[in-house]
Amino acid sequence: MTENDDKNKKRGGLLGFFKEFTYGMATHGMARQALKTRSSMEHLFILITMGDMLGVPILPPYYSMRLLPYVVPQITTWKRRMLRERDMIESLY
C-alpha cells in the first residue's frame, strides 16, 4: 500500500514537475508577454474613458462615469504609468 502510494506520488510529482517544466520552457514567456499586453490595454482603456483625469478631454463624461467604479483600483498605477518620465534605456527592455 504505502509503496504504491509513494509511487503514485512520485509519478504525480514527476508529471507535475514535467508539466511545470514544459510550461516554463514553452508558454511562460508567452503568458508573461500576454499579461503585459493585457495591462497596457487596460491602461489604454482607462485613458480613453477617463482621459480627462489627466487633462485629456474625452467624450462623454456622463457615460464614462458609469465605468469609474470598475477601474478604481487601477487608477493609481495607471496615472503613475501615464505621467512618468520615459528614457531611452527603457525601450531596450
- Does 21 bind other proteins (CB under 8 A)? Our answer is no
Cell digits of residue 93: 527592455
Q: Which is nearer to other proteins, 42 or 82 (CB)?
A: 42
Q: Judged by CB under 8 A, which of 42, 74, 81, 82 binds other proteins?
A: 42
Give yes or no for residue 78 binding other proteins (CB under 8 A).
Answer: no
- Name the one residue in this structure whose C-alpha cell is 514535467: 18
Measured in degrees and rounded to the nearest 5, phi and psi for residue 13 equal -60, -40
The C-alpha cell that represents 34 in the structure block: 500576454
Q: Which stretch binds other proteins (CB under 8 A): 3-11, 31-39, 81-89?
A: 31-39
Nearest to 82 by CA among 58, 57, 34, 46: 46
Asked if 49 is part of the footprint of other proteins (rule: CB under 8 A), the reply reads yes
Comparing CB distances to other proteins, the nearer of 17 and 23 is 23
Please answer whether residues 61 and 52 qualify as being in contact, where contact means their C-beta atoms are separated by less than 8 angstroms.
yes
